[in-house]
Amino acid sequence: MASTPGITNSFKKEILEGTPHNLEATAGTYKMALYVNAATNTPNTAAYTVTNEVATAGGYSAGGADVATGTVILDSGNNSAFWTPGETTDGGNTQAGNITWSNVTFTTDNCLMYKNTTNETVAVFTFTSQAVSSGTFTLQMPVNNNANALIKLA
């Protein structure tokens, strides 16, 4: 079974319960961890885990990397709110929140965003399988707009 993308159910529940989740918080409040193709992260994944995380070596450390801050945008015309790391305006700071690991060797096709202090998950993201050998791997963040944001609530 492969990983399934989506905002995690625990994050949805926490939002409705009033659990603080500030995506505009200080960089490092949230992290992004990479997982091997065999990982089975889904919207039911409630907490960060090292199970099937890519190997800690070279430029990758267990737990992944800090996620940049960004601005939550309310789009009342489309009844949505959206957010992308590093974006400070509606597409005005394109892809400043990219996450890069250097001197790494692994194959990955998914990542998990989670709150660093509590390991509470936010979302699972999947992508085409990528292999890197003693090189650089970059998670390129989308433009922060209604159609492309990393996280969108509608």
The H or E element that residue 138 is part of is strand 121-139
Q: In this structure, are residues 126 and 4 in contact, taking their beta carbons and an 8 Å threshold?
A: yes
Which residue do the tokens 């929140």 mark? 97
> Which tens digits make up the pLDDT trace of 51-87?
999 988 889 999 999 998 888 999 999 999 999 888 6
> Which tens digits make up the pLDDT trace of 5-50?
999 999 999 999 998 888 888 878 999 999 999 999 999 999 999 9
Cα–Cα distance measured from residue 61 to residue 54, given in angstroms and rounded to the nearest whole number: 9
Query: Is a pLDDT exceeding 60 seen at residue 91?
Result: no
* pTM above threshold 0.85: yes
Locate the domains of the chain by residue range. 6-144
- Nearest residue to 66 (alpha-carbon basis) of 115, 7, 9: 115
pLDDT at 96: 62
CA 76 to chain centre: 24
